[in-house]
Chains A and B, each alone.
Chain A
């Protein structure tokens, strides 16, 4: 059994403890003023080891949600070892020095709580919601696996087997999944950006215990993590507990910058048709990478997403599902991978002819944004929905709020200013949308995948 405890410099830990004791309350602290849209106080501080902490007080229910996020995801998978970040997520439940394998689940469940985890392109989240009297338990569990995780060959073998079995089942039960990853490879022709976060049989089998240990030591460190506590707790109490459980965890190495993307500029395979005996219904995937967008353009792009595909009265839903009844199912969104934003659309149709018509209609609708101004009425509708969704995420449950805050912080290095965000959406005009459409909607970059049953 390999114990992954980092070496603690005991003397410096003591000195640090004394300094922190003396400076308590003077650590980088920030209190966000309440706004009518966001009636909760937001506090932020940083431990000496670099761990960022966000506390959001909401005493409306005796509940607490804790999100621990690490700035690591599939982009950090080594070449030929795709799936490592996802495997690490599973291994984080396999026990640490003082917590037995899978006991993390049992502790949370016995308290009546819920837990989950997820791995994205560049982040890994672990989250729990428990009655508020159990905050100490959650922080104890999270600190255990942040620094005292125990991994051995047997645990790795078990997780590999589980990942491979799940992949087989997914191939059978969700046959379109593999084409989502194929579209990623077309849009991001580069291992770091374009490979499947789930890995494949070969890449999963390539991963060794040493790879995992190195990955854990490198990325699962307090200075590469952020904790958000949202719910029925006072910031003083949260600070006391976070300090107790996390302060003595040693800082890890400085994190390298993100791997640079080496995309080819040519879209050579941007329209493909694939025959697959495992699918039962014809499907169409669309992808468009919006290269070079600036952070200021993000709200405009979000609104564009609402106008195009988000909601039953969006242009594509209205045309493809309601009016022309070409699509049996339609979904789509804007996906962000660091500096890159991608528009993705997926639909199912009854037959190949309907797929062809859908394809034509998508192109028409996208191109329409480049030549016609969106009406005020349509724009206001999109703004209404955006505003509702944005506030709903931040105010409905502690968990949704904590996840939103953490994600925002990891992306932008600061907490959201709710009033500013909403005002930015309100300022968007039809001409701004037209300009943006002309800049990004280049027909030569539209990528299509048609998937047909045999």
Chain B
């Protein structure tokens, strides 16, 4: 009896223990759902091995070795851009760049396209102020055929007049459409204002000058700048530098070197912009652009500026978006950006709003900039901004062509070899004091404010501004507005 009772007790105890174990397990399951899990330690991004060498022609070869990928990326960077187009021929760099893919001496345009498609080759062209990037993706098995084909683009382009007309027409209509967009045309106007008087063209194209571009101009631009000693080839895939150099030197053997002279790019100073500029164009929405020149990519301030940008407007969780859109409902969106040119950088804010809210938008943006100058940055906010940038860095590089472009710009902007691999280290070193110092360096002077949209529709919300200069779509001053009083300019 005692034995039976004892056994019963033991079973009961075992059952109770099992039940407690399971019940606590269930409770803990419910508990883990209440809060987000702690992340594992961040695994910093490491770039694939990068090697670089110079061919006898002066062509720089860069390889980014990535094993086990069936696709290759090929980037060719020509160190010339819209800043190298003569003033009366703005757009020449863009037209020349595109003409290289419009036929060679041995293949006309459609035969070239056919050849590209047979090789599974897709490509794009990006023309900036200081450089042109050709970016191609293709199957590994076609590497040698692709290099041979792409080589011909550079050393034997046809530049046919028929294709030139088509390229010019496409670019012209693209620019006309750009003019109608308040944000894009406002940005072009903003750039022209910031770089006015410096002789530097930050890649703003005047559509009327496209008509002036002749076949002779294109040939001359090509001969002057499209030289191996002025170019960089980046090959990203399952290949090392030796193999890449051999294959590229064969494929590009007929591309001949020639001395290339480019005028130095000026370092631009910020002015104290007392008047607001208004670009008057028909649009139901208004774009507000505010910003200043900052130091170039790779400068000592770079990481401080990166964090500053994230704090103020780098993403929807930054101050501008949260304040202007989410809290106050003043804008459709509000972001800030960093852009880089040779020897100069640009910090700029863009806000899309309605004509009735322009004054409140400008005041709110300025108060956010003033906060960076005078306020106390919350350490938690700073850490959140840094955490975002650290987490987002591999996302910025997830497209193979984006990673290859980042590596190629290291050479264009002459950054130290380990620059991107030190991203996390440099980011972690940014403090609120450093961010504030950077803000004071660049924003103590009144930044440039450009408003782009319908002037008459916005007039009621412009009365608080001391002075506004109103420009037409051609960039000509047509009126001034002081505290809401408009005075037309006699021209």
Interface stretch of the complex, out of A206-214, A346-354, A387-395, A444-452:
A387-395
Interfacial chain B residues near A290, Cβ < 8 Å? none
The residues of A that contact B484 with a CB separation of less than 8 Å are none
Choose among A133, A244, A384 the residue that contacts B117 (Cβ–Cβ < 8 A): A384
Contact B32 A62 (CB under 8 A): no
| Given known contacts A98-B35, A148-B33, A313-B117, A396 and B399 CB-to-CB distance under 8 angstroms | yes
A10 to B29, CA, bound (A): 11
Across the interface, name the chain B residue whose C-beta is closest to A314.
B117
Residue of B nearest to A34 (CB): B68
Chain A hits for B118, CB < 8 A? 377, 380-381, 384
A113, B33: Cβ atoms under 8 Å?
Answer: no
* Residue A13 at the chain B interface, CB threshold 8 Å: yes
B26 within 8 A of A: yes
A385 to B115, CA, bound (A): 11
Nearest A residue to B69, CB-CB: A395
C-alpha spacing A445/B471, complex, angstroms = 56
Of A98, A136, A377, A384, most B-chain CB atoms within 10 Å: A384
Task: Tell me which of A39, A62, A112 contacts B387 (CB under 8 A).
Answer: A112
- Enumerate chain B residues within 8 angstroms of A110, measured Cβ to Cβ: 317, 384, 387-388
Closest chain A CB from B468 CB (angstroms): 30
**A106 is contacted by which of B70, B122, B317, B391 (Cβ under 8 Å)?**
B317
Instruction: Name the residue among B33, B48, B113 with the largest chain A CB count within 10 angstroms.
Output: B33
Return chain B residues, CB-CB under 8 Å to A63. 394-395, 398
How many angstroms from the CA of A384 to the CA of B142 in the assembled complex?
A: 10
Per-residue CB proximity of A299-316 to B under 8 Å, as 1/0? 000000000000111000
B283 at the interface (CB under 8 A from A): no
Distance (whole angstroms) from the CB of A30 to the closest CB of chain B = 21
Closest CB-CB distance, A110 to chain B, in whole Å? 6
Assembly CA distance A39 to B68 (angstroms): 6
**A409 within 8 A of partner (CB):** no
Interface-lining segment among B36-44, B251-259, B449-457? B36-44
Q: Which residues of B have CB within 8 Å of A432?
A: none
A68 at interface (Cβ–Cβ under 8 A)?
no
Q: Is the CB of A111 within 8 A of B39?
A: yes
Question: Do A384 and B120 touch (CB < 8 A)?
Answer: yes
**A47-55, A124-132, A335-343: which lies at the B interface?**
A124-132
Please measure, in the bound complex, the distance between the C-alpha atom of A98 and the C-alpha atom of B393, giving whole angstroms. Answer: 29
> In the bound complex, how far is the Cα of B243 from the Cα of A320, in angstroms?
42
Q: Are A131 and B42 in contact (CB under 8 A)?
A: yes
A3 at interface (Cβ–Cβ under 8 A)?
no
Q: Which residues of A contact B41 (CB under 8 A)?
A: 133
Q: Is A31 positioned at the interface, with any CB of B under 8 Å from its CB? A: no
The verdict on A292 contacting chain B, using a C-beta distance below 8 Å, is no
**Does any Cβ of A come within 8 Å of B22's Cβ?**
yes
- In the complex, what residues of A have CB within 8 A of residue B43's CB? 62, 131-133, 232
Q: Is A333 among interface residues, defined by CB-CB distance under 8 A? A: no
Residue from A105, A131, A313, A399 having most chain B Cβ neighbours under 10 A: A131
Is B71 part of the contact surface with A, judged by Cβ < 8 Å? yes
Indicate which residue in B39, B48, B395 contacts A129 across the interface (CB closer than 8 Å).
B395
Contacts of B142 in A (CB 8 A): 384
Q: A134 is contacted by which of B33, B39, B316 (Cβ under 8 Å)?
A: B39
Whether the pair A133, B137 counts as a contact (CB closer than 8 A) is no
Complex CA–CA separation, A125 to B45 (angstroms)? 28
Q: Which of A74-131 contact B (CB under 8 A)?
A: 97-98, 105-107, 109-114, 129-131
| Interface: B119 (CB within 8 A) | yes
Check if B392 is an interface residue, CB within 8 A of chain A.
Answer: yes
Contact A134 B391 (CB under 8 A): yes
Among candidates B26, B389, B393, B399, residue contacting A14 with C-beta atoms closer than 8 Å: B26
Q: Given A107-B36, A248-B29, check contact A391 B71 (CB 8 Å).
A: yes
Quick one: closest B residue to A65, CB to CB?
B398
**A313 pairs with B33, CB closer than 8 A:** no
Asked, given contacts A17-B25, A388-B139, whether A109 binds B33 with beta carbons under 8 Å apart, the answer is no
- In angstroms, Cα B445 to Cα A58, docked, is 48
Asked if B390 CB lies within 8 Å of chain A CBs, one says yes
CA distance A380 to B119 in the complex (A): 9
Closest Cβ–Cβ distance, residue A425 to chain B (whole Å):
12
A312: contacting residue among B23, B36, B117, B398, CB under 8 A = B117
Contact residue among A17, A18, A144 (Cβ-Cβ distance under 8 Å from B33): A144
Q: Does A37 lie at the interface of the complex (its beta carbon under 8 Å from any beta carbon of B)?
A: yes
Contacts of B22 in A (CB 8 A): 14, 17-18
How many angstroms between the C-alpha atoms of A36 and B43 in the bound complex? 28
Cα A395 to Cα B142 in complex, Å, equals 17
B395 touches A388 (CB 8 A): no
Given contacts A63-B394, A111-B387, contact A387 B120 (CB under 8 A): yes
Structural contact, A322 and B110, CB atoms closer than 8 A: yes
> What chain A residues lie within 8 Å of B121 (beta carbons)?
388
In whole angstroms, what is the CA distance A395 to B140 when docked?
13
The CA-CA distance from A112 to B36 in the complex, in Å, is 16
Contacts of A13 in B (CB 8 A): 26
Verify if A397 is at the interface (C-beta below 8 Å from B).
yes
0/1 string, B175-210, CB within 8 A of A gives 1: 000000000000000000000000000000000000
Contacts A137-B37, A312-B113, A391-B71 given; does A61 touch B32 at CB 8 Å: no
Chain A contacts for B317, CB-based, 8 A: 106, 109-110
Whether A140 and B36, one on each chain, are in contact in the complex, defined by CB atoms closer than 8 angstroms, is yes
Residues of B contacting A248 in the complex (Cβ-Cβ under 8 angstroms) = 29
Chain B residues with CB under 8 A of A14: 22-23, 25-26
- Bound-state CA distance A36–B140 (Å) is 11
Q: What distance in Å separates the Cβ of B396 from its nearest Cβ neighbour in chain A?
A: 9
Set of chain A residues within 8 Å of B29, measured between Cβ atoms:
244, 248
Minimum distance in angstroms from A396 CB to a CB of chain B: 6
- In the bound complex, what is the Cα–Cα distance between A237 and B102 (angstroms)? 51
- Please tell me if the beta carbons of A60 and B32 are within 8 angstroms of each other in the complex: no
Q: Is the CB of A113 within 8 A of B391?
A: yes
A398 closest partner in B (C-beta): B398
How far is the CB of B30 from the nearest CB of chain A, in Å?
A: 9
B-side interface residues toward A, CB under 8 Å?
A: 22-23, 25-26, 29, 32-45, 48, 66, 68-71, 110, 113-114, 117-122, 137-139, 142, 315-317, 384, 387-395, 397-400
- Using a CB–CB distance below 8 Å, which chain A residues touch chain B? 10, 13-14, 17-18, 36-39, 60-63, 97-98, 105-107, 109-114, 129-134, 136-137, 140-141, 143-144, 148, 232, 244, 248, 311-313, 318, 322, 377, 380-382, 384-385, 387-389, 391-392, 395-399
> What are 22 A-B contacts with C-beta separation under 8 Å?
A10-B26, A62-B42, A62-B44, A63-B394, A98-B34, A111-B391, A113-B395, A129-B395, A131-B390, A131-B394, A132-B43, A133-B41, A141-B36, A244-B32, A312-B113, A381-B117, A381-B118, A384-B119, A384-B120, A384-B139, A384-B142, A397-B398
3 tightest A-B CB contacts, nearest first: A112-B391, A388-B120, A112-B392
